[in-house]
Amino acid sequence: MKQFTFESKQKTLFMAMMGIGLLCLVLSYIFEPAAIAEAGVHQRFWSNFLLNASYFTGMAFMIAFVIAAFTLAYSGWFIVFKRLWEPFALFLVPGLVLMLVLAIGNYAHLHHLYHWAADGVTDINSEHYDAVLAGKSLFLNKGWYLFGTLVLGGIWAFCAVKFRQTSIAEDNDGAHPEKNFPYQAQLRKWSAVLLPIAAFTGPVMIWQWIMSVDAHWYSTLYAWYCMAGWWLAACSLSIILLIYLKGKGYFEQVTIEHLHDLAKYMFAFSIFWTYCWFSQYMLIWFANVGEETIYFRERLDHYSALFYGNLVINFVLPFLILMRNTTKRRNGTLIFASLIVFLGHWMDFFYLIKPGTLITAKEIAEGGGHHGAEGAHHAAAHASTFVEGFTIPGLIDIGVMIGFLGFFLYFVFQQLTKASLIPENDPYLQESLHHEVQVYE
């Protein structure tokens, strides 16, 4: 079947998922954990919003990035499921709208996720003056956040839309080899535009969106770490969706060979992710510089389940499960491993975002405002208790994730109906159809 139909059953399911998500968002807005309820900043709601909005937007960003990289490398094997990745990349459009809510929220004081966005931290006469944040204010400021989300993110989304448009135009027109060349040239042009821009601006937006919840701390490896995580999430979701859609009778030409290669990406990037994780940890651990070590001290002391669980779920399990060829070529084990990786990296981002936002909320709750440069250290000493929805994911947090996932899938399925599932006129289609991984059975 070349034409995808969005069944009403699926629509109902995704609507129900979005309903659960909305309900959980409302619940997290009302029921703030007691430890930070005084602050009145609805930190659980906003940190969940940031976590899920950035997770799914990041997946869209990485898929756009990978499409650009594959196109420029004259890669042909993925063409047969390119029509699944184009909607993934297109999710940048609604995803960036969600991130824009946060960018505008910085101005309107809707949320207090970022310490650097608080009033007075850069004003030397204010009691909230923070020398470290004032020093970083050239980059960590509301204007940059808005500019990055709107303009840099806009460039990514623009290129993703161009990929889609060119690909569909080729479908409608380029039936002959001499005709589809201009479309390929267009695709390569937009890929060449996106690839360097995304490589530099992706990390910048990761620093702004995610790393700056721990505004005093920084790590240069952080962006690679996040990008690897996003790519793994997108890769695992692609595998699950492809197997599901194949079961429904679509994407018949996507064979176990394509899934095998996707699984190889999942395996390899799980190791790359661990490499980044370990390098970041070991350098900070060994250098033992107080302002850097506090980040891991906080996490080891109060988030030890997430800290060690993260390594088991995102490294040990995928590594052992996906090591053999046989497990990479069976639907059952593939779905199992993909689910682990998808949920594991969601949990990883949970672990990246929640501790920092909790500290910020605690500072507000304790001081009625932000402390000085020592604020983070001071608050860390008081963060010794279990806080629901921060220390480990609660049911509400998982519900919010289900809601965003429903929205993402609804968007992707809606886009799938708008074009043929197989890009008939793509010159690399034949290469993709005959893609084969030589395996000794």
Residues that bind another protein (CB under 8 A): 278, 281-282, 285-288, 436, 438, 440
Q: How far apart are CB 433 and another protein at their closest, in Å?
A: 15
For another protein, give the closer residue by CB, 91 or 269.
Answer: 269
Q: How far apart are CB 327 and another protein at their closest, in Å?
A: 16
Selection from 135, 136, 141 nearest residue 117 by Cα: 141
**Do 131 and 241 meet the contact criterion of CB atoms below 8 Å apart?**
no
Q: How far apart are CB 297 and another protein at their closest, in Å?
A: 14
For another protein, give the closer residue by CB, 55 or 277.
Answer: 277
**Do 67 and 423 meet the contact criterion of CB atoms below 8 Å apart?**
no
**Do 270 and 314 meet the contact criterion of CB atoms below 8 Å apart?**
yes
For another protein, give the closer residue by CB, 1 or 282.
Answer: 282
Distance of alpha carbon 189 from alpha carbon 292, whole angstroms? 41
Q: For the chain, count helices (H), then strands (E).
A: 19, 0
For another protein, give the closer residue by CB, 220 or 417.
Answer: 220
Helix (H, G, I), strand (E, B) or coil at 385: coil
Helix (H, G, I), strand (E, B) or coil at 32: coil
Distance of alpha carbon 141 from alpha carbon 156, whole angstroms? 22
Q: How far apart are CB 280 and another protein at their closest, in Å?
A: 11
Distance of alpha carbon 165 from alpha carbon 159, whole angstroms? 10
For another protein, give the closer residue by CB, 151 or 289.
Answer: 289
Q: How far apart are CB 34 and another protein at their closest, in Å?
A: 36
For another protein, give the closer residue by CB, 249 or 286.
Answer: 286
For another protein, give the closer residue by CB, 42 or 260.
Answer: 260
Residues 6+ apart with CB under 8 A from 416: 4, 6, 83, 84, 87
Q: How far apart are CB 235 and another protein at their closest, in Å?
A: 24
Residue 278: how many CB atoms within 10 A of its CB?
Answer: 14
DSSP line for 140-182: SSHHHHHHIIIIIHHHHHHHHHHHHHHHHHHHHH--SHHHHHH
- Reading the block at residue 49, the tokens are 């919003």
Q: How far apart are CB 285 and another protein at their closest, in Å?
A: 6
